Amino acid sequence: MKFTIPCRLPGLNEIIESSRRSKYGANNEKKDVQQYISFFIPKGTMKHPCFVLVTFYEPDNRRDVDNIIAGGCKVILDALVRCGTLPNDNRKWVKQITPVVLTDKEQPRIEVELRPLMEANK
């Protein structure tokens, strides 16, 4: 299963900052971002544990890699569970997350691929 999110997501620093502004700030931001991501997740449910490959295409090199990955992967996996694509994002269902951060000034985006464990062994 593959899908693309046509934007950049808040990083961990932005999520922390929103939690400092308001008691519910980070939670509200996370829910809004998950709802947005859900528009791009294809219909279907993973029947087997999977590997998750996430490629972040940033418009520039300003944000730290750890900031991009920590914030982005968290909200993407939570959105996959919320949509019913993954039953859970625990280690039983998500065996490995491989994040990559690249630069694309013209088309910032996030490409997500879920590879079922059975396919990954082929």
Could you tell me the mean pLDDT of each successive run of 10 residues in the chain, 122 residues long? 91 72 69 90 93 97 92 92 94 96 96 85 50
* pLDDT for residue 12: 75
Q: Which residues of 24-57 are buried (b: 16+ CB within 10 A; e: fewer)?
A: eebeebbeebbeebeebbeeeebeebbbbbbbbb
CATH level 3 topology of 2-120? 60s Ribosomal Protein L30; Chain: A; (3.30.1330)
* pLDDT for residue 23: 66
* pLDDT for residue 26: 65
Neighbouring CB atoms inside 10 A of 80's CB total: 27
Is residue 88 within 8 Å of residue 45, measured between CB atoms? no
Where exactly are the structural domains of the chain?
2-120
pTM of the predicted model over 0.85: yes
What gap in Å lies between CA 92 and CA 77, rounded to an integer? 14
Say whether 18 sits in a helix, a strand or coil: helix
Q: How far apart are the first and last CA of the chain?
A: 16
* pLDDT for residue 119: 55
What gap in Å lies between CA 52 and CA 57, rounded to an integer? 16
Pull the structure tokens for residue 45.
């449910």
